Structure 1
Amino acid sequence: MASLGEDLLGIVNKLQDLVFNTIGNDSLDLPQIVVVGSQSSGKSSVLENIVGRDFLPRGSGIVTRRPLILQLINILPDEDSPDTSVSTQPEWAEFHHIPNRRFTEFHDVKREIENETARIAGNNKGINRQPINLKIYSPSVLSLTLVDLPGLTKVPIGDQPTDIEKQTRNLISEYIAKPNSIILAVSPANVDIVNSEALKLARHVDPLGRRTIGVLTKIDLMDHGTNAMDILSGRVYPLKLGFIGVVNRSQQDIQGNKSLEEALKAESNFFKHHPAYRNMASRCGTQFLAKSLNTTLMAHIRERLPDIKARLNTLMGQTQQELAGYGDMHFSGKEHRGSLVLQLMTRFASSFISSIDGTSTDISTKELCGGARIYYIFNSVFGNSLESIDPTTNLSALDIRTAIRNSTGPRPSLFVPELAFDLLVKPQIKLLEIPSQRCVELVYEELIKICHTCGSTELTRFPRLQAKLIEVVSDLLRERLGPASSYVESLISIQRAYINTNHPNFLGAAAAMSNVVTNKQDKERKKLLQEERERREKKRQKDHALNENAIPEDVEGENEAEKKTSRKPIHLSSRSLSPRLRENGTSNGMLASINGVNGTTGGPRDSFLNYFFGKDGAPGSMVSPSSHNPNLGRNVNHSTEPIFSQSMRRPEERTNHGSLAQQQREDDSIGKTHREYEYSPPFGNNSEPVLTDREAMETELIRALISSYFNIV
């Protein structure tokens, strides 16, 4: 059974080394003995007594600042050696971080522990969770696996962290909380057992005391007349594995270079000759402690072996599944490098395409990605940016009027020239370029993101190949960014090069004029109703203030509104283009032609043409040009002569015929027209000149046409 136990412990040590080399932590929860105790409780002395060598650092404050995993391996004595005594057999130590190097001098082991601790944990007396693995091969030790942890401290001294107690407790709890760990709680006998920090921590994770071994140190330093028999017998604090008393070297013995062999002999003599402990001397001392730990650890390994095996099978299955995810092992080797690279590139391309198509198996549920993100960019981001553009926001009334005048040249125009519309709409189409280029950049950024996230697990086996693939694809996308931007510019240039006014969705001049007139009449109607409401409200408030019986004004107001409405009729099929025309009644030729006199009906297009060209059968009040200009030399019929009111022409186009009184009346009429239109500049620029009735209508018409064409580009 002893041989079987030694073999089991050797296997556990190999597993521990394997896990530490591969995973980096003890995820298997292998059986081990964890040494816990307060600072200066004698933990280091107990371990040195078990090993039989001075190899642990000593000093004031916290000396053990990293967990020390100590594997004691018993080796058979060399039978070929002439001196077969145990003391002359070779002993050595090995560190995991320095492989293939044996330390035969144990003071070098102490120095290496100090150097390695300072290398990882620093020189500020802080602690670190990364363990130090040390193996000691000796024929004088029993096979054990011990973990030496930093001692518990209450008050930080020197440059220790202020939370040193919390850090130490968390580190100790991390090790002793594992179910497969045996807790070796070291407590000094010269301190009341109820104040033992080691037993307090052990009881927190092992309340029944099934896997806790108590060790009482400094029994020789107890007050005279007192002993620890009640504690060692388990009557004070019962533990399943019991308490074991030991006597370590004092500080005076260490300074006097007292050897461990002499210390062990002195310990044995102390228990044999002490009147209180001589009856149980065989169950006290370091040698009995080492044997008990070895026996307990072997039994614990055999007890936990089924759980360890099940845990191993689970980890092996997970590892094999992870290994299978890295690709087929048949492609390993130099002869299959080309096939492997081609396969990885093909899967990378397939993953890239599936991310865009939305068929990838690793679809995120937290945010939009891949093809869905690109669709969102086109549909929402780009669409909203286009809808937020006002095609006429940077066009003032002065700009539109200037463009119309420049397009007519030295000749007066009878209607809005199409060239003016072209001049004004082309710069507005240019507004589409900035959001379009931004859309291209957003799609490019999303493609780069897809490129970095579409790598398979197999590709992660070869990080340099993965980095090169991402670099090549990123360069390709970056190269195509320029041509894509140029293509967007060319599309916008194509739209600007030819203005297609024959597009079926284009509003057209007639419909635009109809909308302008309709909107104007709606505003006038709303203004009239609002003024009537305000007048009635003021009247009501005035009557209420005078405490008089108010005469109902609703009927009177409605009658007055009806009278005003009857004086200014509004017909959808017959639109009046200016207040001046309404005042002149049916005797005015312009109003008659627009309202369809002589029984002729027409749609918005006829109204637009009548506005600029007149209509057949106009009243006789509209005179022919021949009566004004006798030098024409030919008679022109009224039905073919364009009828245009003098007040509708631009001021510079009017003739200077007539008296000053007539000119004054025309100016008053124009001013009244402007007041009724109540035209305000689009940007509130009061420095712009006041527009005439015709210019206001032309400006609104151009704005409507630009907005209509902008929506179909």
Structure 2
Amino acid sequence: MEKLIPLVNQLQDLVFNTIGSDFLDLPSIVVVGSQSCGKSSVLENIVGKDFLPRGTGIVTRRPLILQLINLKEEEYGADNEDSQQDSSNTDGATTSLENRSDQEGYAEFLHLPNVRFTDFGKVRAEIENETMRVAGANKGINKLPINLKVYSKHVLNLTLIDLPGLTKIPVGDQPTDIESQTRSLIMEYISKPNSIILAVSPANFDIVNSEGLKLARLVDPKGKRTIGVLTKLDLMDQGTNAMDILSGRVYPLKLGFIPTVNRSQSDIISHKSLRDALSSENAFFANHPAYRAIVNRCGTFYLAKTLSNLLVAHIRDRLPDIKARLSTLISQTQSQLENYGIFKISDKSQRGIILLQAMNRFANSFIASIDGNSSNIPTKELSGGARLYSIFNNVFSTTLNSIDPLQNLSIMDIRTAILNSTGSRATLFLSEMAFDILVKPQLALLAPPCHECVELVYEELMKICHYSGDADMSRFPKLQTALIETVSDLLRENLSPTFSFVESLISIQMAYINTNHPDFLGVQGAMSNVLARKNQHLTTRRHSTSYSNPVVDNTKNDNPDSSITDIASSDDVTSVTPNRKLQNFGSDNLERKTFLSYVFGANNSLKRGPMHSKTLSNGLPLNEPVHMLSDQTNTQPQSNFADSFPVKMTDLSNEVESMALEEMTEREELEVELIQELITSYFILTRKIIVDQVPKVIMHLLVNASKDAVQNRLVSSLYREELFDSLLIEDENIKSEREKNERLLSVYMQANKMISNVF
């Protein structure tokens, strides 16, 4: 049990020397109270030395971790002999053996290793200087503690943490928020479950207004780990005492209250020794009528003994939890270090292994992301191979299916192509040349979506490349950059042949129009579809007519093709095409074209009858019909034949093209519809082939080719000994984090070893 407090002291030194904070939450006694409540006097009485700064306002501006270490006679003598050999004259920090033997004790600061202070006035000065160095001169506070060890044969093994006194109003150069700063610092220490709270309160003030007890109650409402200290009992009004408080009737605490009497300000000014002060304290309690009954539970010596025993018991109770926490910290730190790899960069023989492992992990991560085998699968969005699947089956196919087979192809374009392909004579059958001319530009509409599909897949592979690897990749930023650039070059190399092959697919489809394909509709199928739509349209019109005219001729029509004849002879025929209607020409257009009918087709002109009065575009009137006379009835000379026309044929040269294109017979309308039907059928046929072939080409030439070659490319490009030093340069932040974890693990292992030797 005697080793428990020294063990905690060693652990505190270890963690503060290497880490700077108490990560283990070591058991400790935290001293809290308001300004001028007597905290410093209590601590000096326990130590038996004047060593704490004094003055007005906040004097303690940094936490002071005070470790009291009891030295037995033989240990003290041996220590003095060792110190004589190491003595120096560093600003009074060490003295000769003769002076040190008179002092019977010495002090050491953690921030000044191997320097002993036998003059405790120098200890006070060092505390003030160290406080000024860190906390500044404006009376502000700082959380960084000062560690002080006091070795003496007159002290008990004990560890105390002295905190700044709580103040209400800033004075002088103190910050305006000094109260909140001090309260936050105190709460940080007393809120730890392993801390014992030593609440110091003056007895000459109402105990319920004690700031130390108020703060303690916030974190320890049941008072299980709070011990009270009453100071200034000698200053209470005459005839009063603190027995109600000491008995627990006013403010119950499980650990109770201990009364003390410290030196007054006049005693300090008169340099009354602590030895005399302790004698006066004992005499006060022994002679006081109220306290002499409990004199054995009063005074500084009883307080120190109680605190030492309390701390030992507390350490014993909390040590198993500390050991378990250490085991957890060791496991977590080892796991974090494993993320940096088991090989050390400092060993040049292991750099090649580190590089190979990094390349292997990067390649495997790249392939796994595409195949859907990655260990880090996102749940918020599609990624990797799933996005490739979505590009092929959703984006690409939807885009192709949304293309209109007759996009940018007007009826006028089709009619013009038919006329141009027939030349100077009419064809007996549908022109195949017109179909070939018209269908190829429509097939070219499939090319842009195919190119875009290749680009989308390439971009997704580049994204997969940038997200490949693991946490260890960020450890070597230059290596990570080199890996990404190498794979990016591989993807760019595979992009070009993929793009060319996809372009070839479209060119192949346009190079040979296979009208013999089993899935192609053909002329016969197209004719059937067109006639079926005409019959359906005729039926709809007849139904509409019978609904509006109740008297209907029920004479049976013996001509099975009469429906088509009726449509052809009707002046307001409307031809229904797969995606649009043919233009309905009015009577004005028919009248205007009668002149050409007489010139280019007499039969058509006879069917339509005489031509009404009309003005051509050149402004010449057409007032009378033109009679085409036979040779027997024509009495005019042949040379005057042109004079018989109201206008000259040369005047109509600008009207021939538009009038010929706009005037379509039933046969011509049928030809246009057939061409539209055939183009649509062949376009859909080709689109099915492209939807199936393009993803296969991309997967073969871009995706799978990159997957198969990625590892070999990385090794051949980067695994060169002259590149080891430049590629395996650690990131500074990660390097410092790794070194920090290495230090932590070393501290944890040492602490665990210390505890194992005792527990």
Q: Would you say the 8 A contact 2:58–2:165 is kept in 1?
A: no
Could you tell me how far apart the structure 2 residues matched to 1:152 and 1:578 are?
111
2:9: which partner in 1?
13
How far residue 464 of structure 1 moved from its aligned partner, in angstroms, is 4.3
Q: Give the one of 492, 498, 502 matched to 1:482.
A: 492
SS of the residue 2:445 aligns to? helix
Q: Would you say the 8 A contact 1:407–1:420 is kept in 2?
A: no
1:32: which partner in 2?
28
Q: Would you say the 8 A contact 1:68–1:131 is kept in 2?
A: no
Q: Would you say the 8 A contact 2:538–2:563 is kept in 1?
A: no
Could you tell me how far apart the structure 2 residues matched to 1:523 and 1:71 are?
107
Q: Give the one of 185, 195, 198 matched to 1:181.
A: 195
How far residue 31 of structure 1 moved from its aligned partner, in angstroms, is 1.3
> Where in structure 2 are the equivalents of 1:230-309 lying within 5 Å?
230-247=244-261, 262=273, 265-266=276-277, 269=280, 272-273=283-284, 275=288, 279=292, 280=294, 283-309=297-323
Question: Structure 2 vs 1, CA of residues 437 and 213 (structure 1 numbering), >3 Å: closer, same or farther?
Answer: same
SS of the residue 1:79 aligns to? helix
2:680: which partner in 1?
704
Question: Structure 2 vs 1, CA of residues 518 and 364 (structure 1 numbering), >3 Å: closer, same or farther?
Answer: same
Q: Does 2:503 align with 1:493?
A: yes
Question: Structure 2 vs 1, CA of residues 132 and 388 (structure 1 numbering), >3 Å: closer, same or farther?
Answer: farther
2:482: which partner in 1?
472
How far residue 93 of structure 1 moved from its aligned partner, in angstroms, is 1.1
SS of the residue 2:199 aligns to? strand
Question: Structure 2 vs 1, CA of residues 505 and 238 (structure 1 numbering), >3 Å: closer, same or farther?
Answer: same
Could you tell me how far apart the structure 1 residues matched to 2:113 and 2:193 are?
31
Q: Would you say the 8 A contact 2:435–2:679 is kept in 1?
A: no
Structure 1 residue identity aligned to 2:209: N
Could you tell me how far apart the structure 2 residues matched to 1:238 and 1:705 are?
97
Structure 2 residue identity aligned to 1:12: V
Q: TM-score, normalised by structure 2?
A: 0.61
Could you tell me how far apart the structure 1 residues matched to 2:663 and 2:290 are?
121
Q: Does 2:470 align with 1:455?
A: yes
How far residue 523 of structure 1 moved from its aligned partner, in angstroms, is 7.2
Q: Would you say the 8 A contact 1:9–1:143 is kept in 2?
A: yes
Could you tell me how far apart the structure 2 residues matched to 1:664 and 1:449 are?
76
Q: TM-score, normalised by structure 1?
A: 0.64
Q: Does 2:568 align with 1:581?
A: yes
> Where in structure 2 are the equivalents of 1:390-539 lying within 5 Å?
395=408, 397=410, 400-401=413-414, 404=417, 408=421, 414=427, 415=430, 417-433=434-450, 435-451=452-468, 454-455=469-470, 459=472, 464-465=475-476, 467-498=477-508, 499=510, 500-502=512-514, 505=519, 511=525, 515=529
How far residue 231 of structure 1 moved from its aligned partner, in angstroms, is 1.3
Deviation track 1:529-584 (CA, whole Å, cap 9, x = no partner) reads 8x79xxxxxxxxxxxxxxxxxxxxxxx95996x9799999999xx89779741649
Question: Structure 2 vs 1, CA of residues 11 and 365 (structure 1 numbering), >3 Å: closer, same or farther?
Answer: farther
Q: Would you say the 8 A contact 1:391–1:707 is kept in 2?
A: yes
Q: Does 2:98 align with 1:82?
A: yes
Higher relative contact order (CA 8 A, sep 6+): 2
1:678: which partner in 2?
none
> Where in structure 2 are the equivalents of 1:277-356 lying within 5 Å?
279=292, 280=294, 283-319=297-333, 333-356=347-370
Could you tell me how far apart the structure 1 residues matched to 2:326 and 2:283 are?
47
**Larger mean Cα displacement after TM superposition, 151-160 or 171-180:** 151-160
How far residue 110 of structure 1 moved from its aligned partner, in angstroms, is 2.7
Could you tell me how far apart the structure 2 residues matched to 1:185 and 1:346 are?
61
1:618: which partner in 2?
none
Could you tell me how far apart the structure 1 residues matched to 2:291 and 2:57 are?
34
Structure 2 residue identity aligned to 1:581: A
Please, what is the CA RMSD of the aligned residues?
A: 5.4
Q: Does 2:108 align with 1:92?
A: yes
Could you tell me how far apart the structure 2 residues matched to 1:154 and 1:703 are?
92
Could you tell me how far apart the structure 1 residues matched to 2:539 and 2:66 are?
98
How far residue 177 of structure 1 moved from its aligned partner, in angstroms, is 4.2
How far residue 298 of structure 1 moved from its aligned partner, in angstroms, is 1.7
Q: Would you say the 8 A contact 2:534–2:564 is kept in 1?
A: no
How far residue 474 of structure 1 moved from its aligned partner, in angstroms, is 0.9
Question: Structure 2 vs 1, CA of residues 194 and 320 (structure 1 numbering), >3 Å: closer, same or farther?
Answer: same
1:671: which partner in 2?
none
Question: Structure 2 vs 1, CA of residues 473 and 408 (structure 1 numbering), >3 Å: closer, same or farther?
Answer: farther
Q: Would you say the 8 A contact 1:412–1:653 is kept in 2?
A: no
**Larger mean Cα displacement after TM superposition, 341-350 or 153-162:** 153-162
How far residue 297 of structure 1 moved from its aligned partner, in angstroms, is 1.0
> Where in structure 2 are the equivalents of 1:47-126 lying within 5 Å?
47=43, 50=46, 52-55=49-52, 60=57, 64=61, 69-74=65-70, 77=76, 78-80=79-81, 81-85=97-101, 87=103, 89-95=105-111, 105-117=123-135
Could you tell me how far apart the structure 2 residues matched to 1:523 and 1:263 are?
122
**Larger mean Cα displacement after TM superposition, 182-191 or 355-364:** 355-364
Could you tell me how far apart the structure 1 residues matched to 2:245 and 2:339 are?
57
How far residue 660 of structure 1 moved from its aligned partner, in angstroms, is 10
Q: Would you say the 8 A contact 1:230–1:236 is kept in 2?
A: yes
Could you tell me how far apart the structure 2 residues matched to 1:364 and 1:20 are?
42
Could you tell me how far apart the structure 2 residues matched to 1:661 and 1:653 are?
5
How far residue 23 of structure 1 moved from its aligned partner, in angstroms, is 7.3
1:134: which partner in 2?
147
SS of the residue 1:237 aligns to? coil
Could you tell me how far apart the structure 1 residues matched to 2:553 and 2:498 are?
56
Identity level (%): 40
How far residue 112 of structure 1 moved from its aligned partner, in angstroms, is 2.4
> Where in structure 2 are the equivalents of 1:615-626 lying within 5 Å?
none
Structure 1 residue identity aligned to 2:680: A
Deviation track 1:31-50 (CA, whole Å, cap 9, x = no partner) reads 11223335664545544654
Could you tell me how far apart the structure 2 residues matched to 1:177 and 1:370 are?
49
Question: Structure 2 vs 1, CA of residues 433 and 22 (structure 1 numbering), >3 Å: closer, same or farther?
Answer: farther
SS of the residue 1:447 aligns to? helix
Question: Structure 2 vs 1, CA of residues 61 and 93 (structure 1 numbering), >3 Å: closer, same or farther?
Answer: closer
Tell me the number of residue pairs that the alignment of Structure 1 and Structure 2 aligns: 583
Where in structure 1 are there 5+ consecutive unaligned residues? 533-555, 592-645, 669-688
SS of the residue 1:82 aligns to? helix
Q: Would you say the 8 A contact 2:362–2:470 is kept in 1?
A: yes
Q: Does 2:157 align with 1:147?
A: no
Question: Structure 2 vs 1, CA of residues 343 and 220 (structure 1 numbering), >3 Å: closer, same or farther?
Answer: same
Could you tell me how far apart the structure 2 residues matched to 1:447 and 1:100 are?
57
Could you tell me how far apart the structure 2 residues matched to 1:345 and 1:190 are?
75
Could you tell me how far apart the structure 2 residues matched to 1:568 and 1:20 are?
113
How far residue 137 of structure 1 moved from its aligned partner, in angstroms, is 4.1
Question: Structure 2 vs 1, CA of residues 316 and 372 (structure 1 numbering), >3 Å: closer, same or farther?
Answer: same
Q: Would you say the 8 A contact 2:65–2:162 is kept in 1?
A: yes
Deviation track 1:470-506 (CA, whole Å, cap 9, x = no partner) reads 2122102322343344345323421342315325555
Q: Would you say the 8 A contact 2:204–2:232 is kept in 1?
A: yes
